[in-house]
Structure 1
């Protein structure tokens, strides 16, 4: 049985897990944060850290005892061996949720969709992915839908934010650790692209969970986030956030990625995702706004400044109140 507002966050040291745990704490939840190594866990005031492996069914079952919600925000170590590890991790979460009558929260991605449903994607649209990870994500959602557990999926575009270290923004758009000398934009400049500021995304999850009694057993919402009809405007906003209007905006080295894709697994996956940067893709958040009344939305320049400060890309910038915490989370 669940013990009131207790949430288990699996993968709480990662970007989505950490921000979701923080949001749940703000909304009065007690948070049990599960990671593989508690000694390396970031500071998260109010949470109880527990050590466990998402691949171990017993660890997940024990950690979920008393939980009303299980946030499944975990990925394989080093993001490797997805076909084998991801389904097994999810199966353990489903078993624990069914046993303890908890709702599963899964952060959704746009990898599930192919060009057939673009440019505007709604919750009920067909999922015909082009990538291997996309097919795995579709299989995950089907497994959740066919389970006996209550499920909430909130889907968003590409993440950025103080804790989103493993992201297109932190790994492909800017170079962390030093003042920016240029900005890279991976997509076609005039093609629309959706971005999600992690603190807003996490706040959305917490607000939706506050309405548990109004949710269906299996529920999907699309998070609109920051959508740029002209995708390169995201890079223009980075310029504004750092106060450097003439900062060069460079293209992504797709030719090199495509050439090395046959021999470099990471480049092969990136090449598969290229279509997401070459076509308009906007997530329709009508259902979410109708449900909540409004979508949490931090102004883009404020969101980018917070992100760039955490990534140490703004020289001399004042650290926010949570600056040290954010930096630690990126290291983890």
Structure 2
């Protein structure tokens, strides 16, 4: 719902000026929540990946690699974007939900750090031995695939984020709640492969 923004990290108070249908709907939902009587928790997250995140951009890449097939990467592989591990996002939301002073305001939950598609693919190759090519999926290709898949049809207008991504600033959370749960893209412990992330306690 931020719409196109200047380069840099976006804090919660950044002006929201969505130019897409999906962004305008999200902003309308947020405003309705803020003007309603029940308390609400409004959380902004980047694209997610991990357990139970099968309808996401990065899942398309991970699925191809896991099946040892030619994989797809949506967007420009050279642009650094944020990808948040599902369990990290869930833990951060739970921490917010258990406090009484976090409701009726916005919170950003950023990823561990922005990462390019090229870096993701290289990590996957090093950790799994994957050798097949990875196709960059363009807006034109998304539009064509959208004829058959509704999820991809919705993605067409959001493709601007793969060229000019919004990067979330997490200072408010860290200043008021504490450190974010941050699962590294690769588990560096000896003898392990791809990180599956921490368990939820």
Structure 2 length-normalised TM: 0.81
- Is the strand fraction higher in 1 or 2? 1
Alignment coverage as a number of residue pairs:
195
Structure-2 residue corresponding to 1:219: 105
Structure-1 residue corresponding to 2:80: 192
Where in structure 1 are there 5+ consecutive unaligned residues? 1-111, 308-319, 323-332
Deviations 1:194-245 (A, max 9, x none): 1110101111111222332x33x4121111113325343223233334243x
Shift of the 252–226 alpha-carbon distance from structure 1 to 2, 3 Å rule, reads farther
- Is the helix fraction higher in 1 or 2? 1
Where in structure 2 are there 5+ consecutive unaligned residues? 188-192
Structure-2 residue corresponding to 1:269: 154
In the TM superposition, residue 192 of structure 1 has moved relative to its aligned partner by 2.0
CA contact (8 A) 1:131 1:269 kept: no
Deviations 1:151-188 (A, max 9, x none): 21121111111111221122x32336953234322222
Structure-2 residue corresponding to 1:279: 164
In the TM superposition, residue 264 of structure 1 has moved relative to its aligned partner by 7.3
Say yes or no: does 1:206 pair with 2:91: no
The DSSP-based 3-state class of the residue aligned with 2:41 is strand
Say yes or no: does 1:162 pair with 2:51: yes
CA contact (8 A) 1:173 1:184 kept: yes
- Counterparts of 1:263 and 1:167 in 2: how far apart (Å)? 16
Mark the structure with the bigger radius of gyration: 1
Shift of the 264–146 alpha-carbon distance from structure 1 to 2, 3 Å rule, reads same
Structure-2 residue corresponding to 1:88: none
Residue correspondence of structure 1 range 84-99 to structure 2 within 5 A: none
- Counterparts of 1:203 and 1:118 in 2: how far apart (Å)? 28
Deviations 1:87-121 (A, max 9, x none): xxxxxxxxxxxxxxxxxxxxxxxxx1211354421
Shift of the 226–234 alpha-carbon distance from structure 1 to 2, 3 Å rule, reads farther
The DSSP-based 3-state class of the residue aligned with 1:188 is coil
| Larger CA deviation: 114-123 vs 254-263 | 254-263
In the TM superposition, residue 260 of structure 1 has moved relative to its aligned partner by 6.7
Structure-2 residue corresponding to 1:25: none
The DSSP-based 3-state class of the residue aligned with 2:37 is coil
Shift of the 304–134 alpha-carbon distance from structure 1 to 2, 3 Å rule, reads farther
Structure-2 residue corresponding to 1:109: none
2:121 to 211, 228, 235: 235
1:133 to 16, 22, 28: 22
CA contact (8 A) 2:39 2:104 kept: yes
- Counterparts of 1:261 and 1:235 in 2: how far apart (Å)? 24
Deviations 1:273-304 (A, max 9, x none): 11010113211011111122211011212495
Q: Which has the higher contact order (CA 8 A, sep 6+)?
A: 2
- Counterparts of 1:208 and 1:287 in 2: how far apart (Å)? 12
